[in-house]
Chains A and B, each alone.
Chain A
């Protein structure tokens, strides 16, 4: 009990910094957060702007049980989800992805149907990114593959894999069925894995030869 009250006192002392400083303190961080999920500079900038304005309006709601940065990030995350919800609603047609045109598995007439076709089975990934530079290059390669996803799949994949959002919550906020979500995540993963195998893991293997 006494612990709780001292905790409360500590929290109530936490104040937000001067909003004039927010852009310099958190602007780039929030922008990167939005940009990595959104793939579009302008929309990411707009959402960051909206985040600052919403934070201004709701300053009194900041109770200091998280850092200022975490608080702003959570506002931004909700803005991103709102945007995603619109995207999912508006994109009812789902185009076929470039890597989905490949036939990865043997067809029904084959000796072992559903088996990986030769030349298409997952290869050994030797060069997993280790150093910062490699990680940066890997991220860029990933982004190029991510950009080939339909916006709907990209959105879903980001929330699930970057943010580890619970699947029940995902279905709820995006208003999709569970089985629909599983199919979409499967498609996104199949595409991204194959695309990275081609453009990143395959590339460096060739270099080594």
Chain B
């Protein structure tokens, strides 16, 4: 009886089982597209049992948030690269010559 149950559960389990490698592909894909139902279920199940992939998922989110913030927030990048003075002078004269 127990054996029969194991036999029945096994194919169902393997249908939902995905490797970590596959999970990372879906985690990335989820950021750019909507997963289909099967993909979403498989990933959800995988993440519920896999700490490493859960960390991976969070890290991609963290990366996105800090980069998006950095490239859209001026106060953070204030002390960074500025245009060299000679380039500014060149630009100004280009502009005024066309006015």
Instruction: Please list the residues of chain A having a beta carbon within 8 angstroms of any beta carbon in chain B.
Output: 19-20, 22-24, 27-29, 31-33, 35-37, 45, 48-49, 52-53, 56, 104-105, 112-116, 121-125, 128-129, 132, 135-136, 138-139, 142, 160-164, 167, 178, 181-182, 185-186, 189-190, 192-193, 196-197
Contacts and interface: CB of A to CB of B under 8 A. Distances in A.
A53 B93 CA distance: 11
Interface residues of B, number: 45
10 A-B pairs closest in CB distance:
A114-B19, A114-B21, A121-B52, A162-B71, A122-B55, A105-B21, A186-B28, A28-B82, A122-B56, A31-B83
Interface of B: 18-22, 24-25, 28-29, 31-33, 52-53, 55-56, 59-60, 62-64, 66-68, 70-72, 74, 76-77, 79-83, 87-88, 90-92, 94-96, 98-99
- Chain A interface mostly: helix
Given A29-B74, A115-B20, A167-B33, A185 B79 contact: no
24 contacts: A19-B95, A23-B88, A23-B95, A24-B88, A29-B74, A37-B71, A48-B91, A49-B90, A52-B91, A53-B98, A56-B98, A105-B21, A114-B18, A114-B19, A115-B19, A121-B55, A125-B62, A132-B76, A135-B66, A162-B68, A185-B32, A192-B63, A193-B59, A193-B60
Given A20-B95, A53-B95, A161 B77 contact: no
B67 to A, nearest CB: 5
